[in-house]
Amino acid sequence: MKDYTKPFLIEFPKIGGSALGYISVAENENLPFVPKRLYWTYFTPEEVERGGHSHYDLQQILIAVAGRIQVTTELVNGDKETFLLDKPNVGLYIPKMCWRDMKYTHNAVQICIASIEYDEKDYIRDYSEFLKHGR
Ligand code: TYD
């Protein structure tokens, strides 16, 4: 049984070959939640660190469909991990209550598959507030 309280990488199917190119698919059977929305980020300057928040409810999958993204995650129990996303067929599952920081190469395009609607009230943007949930 998969542990949905921790971040993990998901390898999506890669259909095709080097002669014609590839198709990757995210669908219900290989997703840990039913997606509610998609958004994408791009043209992030290399010196910018994004993220800096956690969520009460939101689960996400981040995919670098182009370029490279370094994601550091931290759970309320103090477990920290760093993931390098650099394959268009690999996504990072980010559970609820998981702090994340991201750095992007200039050419990176990130797709985010989200489990719920955007809601600023779902964010914890204060790191000390986030840490209080581990007590
Ligand atoms: P944020 O989720 O903090 O982005 P990241 O984790 O990629 O750094 O969002 C950045 C800003 O964009 C913030 O002011 C909220 C706004 N925003 C929306 O208006 N709609 C959305 O769907 C999202 C995801 C963010």
Nearest CA to ligand 1 atom 6: 51
Mind listing the pLDDT tens digit for each residue in 12-62?
A: 999 999 999 999 999 988 999 999 999 999 999 999 999 999 999 999 999
pLDDT reading at 117 higher than 80: yes
Q: Write down the pLDDT at residue 27.
A: 94
133 catalytic? Reply is no
Residues 6+ apart with CB under 8 A from 115: 33, 34, 35, 36, 57, 58, 59, 60
Domain ranges of the chain: 8-131
Q: Can you tell me the distance from the alpha carbon of 135 to that of 120, in angstroms, rounded to the nearest whole number? A: 24
Nearest CA to ligand 1 atom 18: 118
CATH of the structural domain 8-131, one choice from 3.40.50.620, 2.60.120.10, 3.40.640.10, 3.40.630.30: 2.60.120.10
Kindly state if the Cβ of 50 falls inside 6 Å of ligand 1: yes
Q: Using the mean position of ligand 1's atoms as its centre, give its distance from the Cα of residue 37 in Å.
A: 13
